[in-house]
Amino acid sequence: MAVQSVTVHDVAREAGVSVGTVSRYINGYSNMLPRNASRVQCAIDKLGYRRCESARLLGRRRSGGRHSTGNVGLYLPFMSAAWSNHPLVAAYMRGVERVCSERGFHPLVEFAHEDDDMTCPRFVTEEKVDGLLIKTLYASAVLLRQAAERIPVVGVSMYEPSLDIPQVAPDNYRAGYQVATHLWEHGHRRIAFLSSSDRHPMFRLRCQGAEAFIRDQREPSSFTHTEAHDEGRRTSRPNDSVPDVSLLLDRLWAVETACRPTAIVAANDWTAAGLYDVLHRRGIRPGTDVSIVGFDNMTTLADVLRPRLTSYAIPLEEVAATATCILLDWIESGAAGAPRGSHLVSGRLVQRESVSDIRPANHEVTDPRTAPARPAYQCPQVPNHK
């Protein structure tokens, strides 16, 4: 077969895999089984396939009845433009930009207009993008239907099992489970979870994962959680100061001293910073009198706190990159390649100095437990109201 006549469809047929799998392999992504990667490489070698970027782009822009722009949109409803320079949003944007750059697309970003989160973004209604990534915790079914009727849509860090669109999210349940495992292995048997929001789905999953680990143990232990009421869906801005969690700590401390938690899992690093502030003001030493763990691994914050904060690194960049890869595969393969289901991406624990080892001196260290994978679409529902 002549080199010029070989297509990704030929490679997929020879390898016995999908076109999307071939596309991911060609573009250097590792989210596939090793045996599939081996099959694709063998097919490429056998057929003499060579990637032709200009032909691929030209074919994409000529395909289908709709004018192709070569752009994809990232929409962030319920988030004002004030978030644009925030480290967490920057991580999402890095993931999108990396994949788009490698595959010849251009990303466009749009934040929500104040109190106007139900409207389809302009770059969709004006047909400026070929596909949409929507990063949201509180999805609007109306907005998503409006967008999905026009172009392919993939959810980023979304927890909406009722919506029939592909979604990619961090495995927050597993993250909570692994954090509790870490604390248990350091001798902690009284563990608490502290959250600044009772509606945030990521926080709730982290709490459920930690509680599940404690429940799985056969030794005497306790798990408590306390959370502040949150209105949920609304256009938000980044906080200017760390949250005041005094009342939440009061609830945890409203027991006899011998029953108080020896370790507190904060819902995120920002909440952990607020907890540090309250503990210092009360003469309680974080990392010594009570161990602290956060989530997100915001190094600009975790490395400044004293002691430095142990935090679970939520893989936001990889979540965005995976979602973008799925979206671009869908765009390039057409309606026949429409993906389904949810994809969970695991992170890792970054150990610093905020967790004390309170095991007995003669305690033998055991191998870490493996956290169970969270089945697809078993995340809690988020109320669809403000």
Which of residues 25 and 318 earns the better pLDDT score? 318
> What's the rounded mean pLDDT across residues 74-102?
87
Q: Which of 66, 18, 64, 61 is nearest to 43 (CA)?
A: 18
| pLDDT tens per residue, range 130-181 | 999 999 877 677 777 778 888 999 999 987 777 788 999 999 999 999 999 9
* Domain assignment of residue 367, yes or no: no
In single-letter form, the type of residue at position 59 comes to G
Q: What residues make up the domain containing 221?
A: 172-315
Same domain, 154 and 176: no
* Domain assignment of residue 162, yes or no: yes
Same domain, 159 and 182: no
* Domain assignment of residue 196, yes or no: yes
Question: Quick check: 369 pLDDT over 50?
Answer: no
Same domain, 97 and 185: no
In order, the DSSP letters of 80-117 are -GGGTT-HHHHHHHHHHHHHHHHHT-EEEEEEPBTTBT
Share of the chain above pLDDT 70, in %: 80
Which residues, at least 6 apart from 157, have a Cβ–Cβ distance to it below 8 Å? 92, 135, 136, 137, 168, 169, 170, 202, 316, 319
| pLDDT tens per residue, range 31-80 | 567 888 888 889 888 888 765 443 444 444 444 445 688 999 999 887 87
> What's the rounded mean pLDDT across residues 122-126?
85
Question: Quick check: 93 pLDDT over 90?
Answer: yes
- pTM to 2 decimal places: 0.76
Alpha-helix residue ranges (DSSP H) falling in 221-260: 246-253
Same domain, 139 and 180: no
287-to-330, 352, 356 alpha-carbon distances in Å: 47, 10, 6
Same domain, 311 and 179: yes
Neighbour tally for 40: CB within 10 Å? 25
What local confidence, expressed as pLDDT, does residue 198 receive?
Answer: 87
- The alpha carbon of 91 is separated from its chain's Cα centroid by a whole number of angstroms, namely 10
Mean pLDDT of the chain: 83
Q: Tell me how long the chain is.
A: 386
* Domain assignment of residue 362, yes or no: no
* d(C-alpha 139, C-alpha 118), whole Å: 9
| Partners of 106 in the β-ladder | 71
Residue where the block lists tokens 């109201």: 385
Same domain, 275 and 310: yes
* Domain assignment of residue 365, yes or no: no
| pLDDT tens per residue, range 280-317 | 999 999 999 999 999 999 999 999 999 999 999 999 99
* Domain assignment of residue 310, yes or no: yes
What local confidence, expressed as pLDDT, does residue 146 receive?
Answer: 79
Core vs surface per residue 294-323: b (16+ CB within 10 A) or e: bbbbbeebbeebebbbbbbbbbbbbbbbbb
Question: Quick check: 224 pLDDT over 90?
Answer: yes
Confidence at 381, pLDDT banded by 50, 70, 90: very low
CATH of the domain at 328: 3.40.50.2300
| pLDDT tens per residue, range 197-210 | 888 899 999 999 99
* Domain assignment of residue 376, yes or no: no
Number of structural domains in the chain: 3
* d(C-alpha 133, C-alpha 117), whole Å: 15
Confidence at 377, pLDDT banded by 50, 70, 90: very low
Same domain, 37 and 91: no
Same domain, 219 and 304: yes
Burial class (CB in 10 A: 0-12, 13-18, 19+), 11: buried
* Domain assignment of residue 164, yes or no: yes
